[in-house]
């Protein structure tokens, strides 16, 4: 029986996380090398059976949207900080396979110190370093690996060593350190070298699987858009320009001489951590909630409205109360530059076990505190979910008939019965908890002192929550 040739299972068939209407194409330019490298990594993840245990680190650069494509864990990080974050991820999850996927403008420039320090410590991670000798994502500026004489938008007369220094040979630099186990430079210019690239990636991942230590694979890759050449001509450009200065080969391979790294077991139980940190904290037991619907047991919640409506604080109080109730929680804020009046939302994920994905694309519960928020997010709520609306600022109402609705003029109620709209968020929180019974009501009250710094405001917020209970 013939074998069906298809994408690796670790690579999504449809890129559902991409906002583009085209869910079948990547965001990379024609002729870009990232797609080929992605394929090799995904194949290796399949063959080694590590996809479910892999955490992909994506810094700023052309590959920043790696989470669109790979069916594994992901962590997006600031520019150049991938090795530092990879270190933290690997040390907190020593059994995970951590891949730091970086470009030359990221790894060799702003992240230069981070990669050197991680390599020098011998962190048990795999670094895939894509070197196309230019800043591709931001418009073709000069990178640390831009060649002498190469013209870019920031070196229009060509790179001049007297002014900008020489291109950095990162593989050679990293190989000089004592701790790294394996360092190789490969290229994508022809079938033979692509096969070597595939083997190098697999070897680097196997080193991490075997707990042998730090490995780096530098890949010379084409950037037709940045180089201003055609995809076909970019392969020739690579051979004639990049490869003479960046020779291919293995610069360090001491895998056989290294023993597997020992990992000490981590202790994660709550009582031990509190004791180790010398925290003066009373661990209080709360009643186990009995949600009114099964979907409220582990909900994904989106809170949205204007800046100044207490959007983020509502999410924080909800998250704190959930943690007091023994839940695993993530809270992600999103807000515009305005202190007041701009858009704001936050995403809260509540789970009985570890949260795998903190993003709330399909909320179980939507709290819409104004009309624009309802218009924007109503369609995303799962069937059978709950939409809480502030009728003071939401005039058109919910258009769907497959969701539950909890609607009150919360702003007006807060203003008239409590004397200020500033506690409308606590009012909504009380109504939500009563309606869903997702958390112990006492946990909501106990969450207030941790986040409301003005002590005199705590009684008013408590009163707002109690009033909210009557509205739920």
- DSSP per position, 94-163: TTSEEEEEEEHIIIIIITHHHHHHHHHHT-S-EEEEEE-SSBTTTTSB--TTPPBT--BTTBTT-B-HHH
Tens-place pLDDT, residues 96-133: 999 999 999 999 999 999 999 999 999 999 999 999 99
CB 432 within 8 A of CB 472: yes
Q: What percent of the chain has pLDDT over 90?
A: 80
Local structure of 84: helix, strand or coil: helix
Tens-place pLDDT, residues 265-282: 777 777 787 777 776 555
Tens-place pLDDT, residues 339-382: 444 578 999 999 999 898 898 999 999 999 999 999 999 999 99
Distance CA 60, CA 80 (A): 7
Q: Is the per-residue pLDDT at 2 higher than 90?
A: no
Where does the pLDDT of residue 251 fall: very low under 50, low under 70, confident under 90, or very high at 90 and above? very high
Q: Which has the closest alpha carbon to 358: 315, 387, 419, 420?
A: 315
Q: What percent of the chain has pLDDT over 70?
A: 97
Residues of the chain with CATH 3.40.920.10: 294-471
Residue that the structure tokens 């024609």 belong to? 30
3-state percent helix, strand, coil for the chain, nearest multiple of 5: 40, 20, 40
**Helices marked H in 247-310:** 270-276
Given the DSSP bridges, would you call strands 249-253 and 182-187 parallel, antiparallel or unpaired?
antiparallel
Residue 468 tokens, joined: 């909210």
Angle (CA) 11 15 17, round 5°: 120
**Residues 19-41, mean pLDDT to the nearest whole number:** 93
Distance CA 283, CA 275 (A): 11
The CATH code that applies to domain 294-471 is 3.40.920.10
Q: Which residues fall within 8 angstroms of residue 289, CB to CB, at 6 or more apart? A: 325, 437, 438, 439, 440
Tens-place pLDDT, residues 428-467: 999 999 999 999 999 999 999 888 888 888 999 999 999 9
Q: If you average pLDDT over every residue of the chain, what do you get?
A: 92
**Residues 54-67, mean pLDDT to the nearest whole number:** 93
Element of type H or E holding 220: strand 215-220
Tens-place pLDDT, residues 126-139: 999 999 999 988 88
Given the DSSP bridges, would you call strands 365-368 and 386-390 parallel, antiparallel or unpaired?
parallel
User: pTM score, two decimals?
Assistant: 0.73
Q: In the prediction, which pLDDT does 338 show?
A: 41
Residue 197 tokens, joined: 């690239």
Q: Is the per-residue pLDDT at 149 higher than 80?
A: yes
Residue 179 tokens, joined: 């701790």
Q: What is the dihedral of CA 395, 400, 406, 412, to 10 degrees?
A: -10
Q: In the prediction, which pLDDT does 339 show?
A: 41
**Residues 300-319, mean pLDDT to the nearest whole number:** 92
The residue that leads in pLDDT, 345 or 201, is 201
Distance CA 131, CA 150 (A): 15
Q: In the prediction, which pLDDT does 157 show?
A: 96
Q: Which CATH architecture has domain 34-257?
A: 3-Layer(aba) Sandwich (3.40)
Q: Which has the closest alpha carbon to 415: 390, 445, 389, 450?
A: 390
Q: Is the per-residue pLDDT at 211 higher than 90?
A: yes
Between 458-471 and 441-451, two packed helices, what is the crossing angle to 10 degrees?
150
Residues of the chain with CATH 3.40.50.970: 34-257
- Residue 266 is given by DSSP the state P
Residue 125 tokens, joined: 């991670």
Q: How many CB atoms lie within 10 A of CB 416?
A: 10
Q: Which has the closest alpha carbon to 286: 330, 331, 320, 314?
A: 320
CB 349 within 8 A of CB 355: yes
């Amino acid at each position: 029986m013939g074998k069906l040739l298809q994408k690796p299972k670790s690579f999504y068939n449809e890129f559902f996380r991409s906002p583009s209407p085209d869910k079948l194409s990547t965001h990379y330019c024609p002729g870009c090398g990232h797609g080929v490298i992605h394929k090799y990594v995904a194949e290796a993840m399949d063959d080694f059976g590590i996809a479910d245990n892999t955490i992909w680190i994506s810094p700023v650069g052309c590959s920043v949207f790696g989470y669109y494509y790979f069916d594994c864990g992901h962590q997006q990080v600031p520019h150049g900080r991938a090795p530092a974050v990879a270190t933290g991820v690997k040390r907190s999850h020593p059994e995970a396979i951590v891949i730091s996927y970086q470009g030359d403008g990221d790894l060799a420039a702003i992240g230069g110190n981070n990669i050197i320090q991680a390599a020098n410590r011998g962190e048990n991670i795999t670094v895939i370093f894509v070197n196309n000798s230019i800043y591709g994502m931001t418009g073709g500026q000069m990178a640390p690996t831009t060649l002498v004489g190469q013209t870019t938008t920031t070196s229009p007369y060509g790179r001049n060593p007297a002014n900008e220094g020489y291109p950095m040979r990162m593989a050679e630099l990293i190989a000089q350190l004592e701790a790294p186990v394996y360092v190789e430079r490969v290229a994508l210019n022809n079938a033979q070298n692509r096969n070597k690239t595939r083997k190098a990636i697999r070897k680097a991942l196997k080193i991490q699987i075997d707990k042998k230590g730090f490995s780096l694979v530098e890949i010379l890759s084409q950037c037709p858009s940045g180089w201003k050449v055609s995809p076909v001509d970019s392969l020739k450009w690579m051979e004639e320009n990049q490869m003479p200065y960046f020779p291919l080969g293995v610069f360090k391979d001491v895998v056989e001489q290294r023993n597997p790294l020992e990992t000490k077991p981590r202790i994660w139980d709550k009582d031990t951590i509190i004791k180790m940190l010398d925290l003066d904290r009373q661990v209080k037991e709360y009643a186990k909630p009995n949600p009114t619907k099964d979907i409220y047991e582990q909900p994904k919640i989106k809170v949205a409205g204007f800046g100044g409506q207490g959007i983020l604080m509502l999410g924080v109080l909800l998250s704190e109360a959930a943690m007091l109730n023994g839940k695993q929680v993530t809270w992600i804020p999103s807000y515009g530059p305005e202190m007041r009046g701009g858009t704001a939302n936050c995403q809260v994920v509540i789970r009985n076990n570890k949260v795998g994905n903190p993003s709330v694309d399909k909320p179980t519960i939507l709290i819409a505190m104004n009309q624009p928020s309802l218009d924007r997010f109503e369609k995303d709520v799962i069937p059978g979910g709950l939409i809480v609306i502030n009728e003071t600022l939401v005039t058109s109402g919910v258009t769907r008939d497959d969701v539950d609705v909890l609607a009150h003029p919360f702003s007006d109620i807060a203003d008239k019965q409590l004397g200020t709209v500033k506690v409308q968020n606590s009012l909504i929180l009380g109504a939500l908890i009563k309606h869903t019974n997702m958390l112990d009501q006492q946990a909501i009250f106990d969450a207030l002192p941790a986040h409301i710094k003005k002590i005199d405001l705590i009684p008013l917020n408590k009163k707002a929550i109690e009033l909210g209970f009557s509205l739920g």
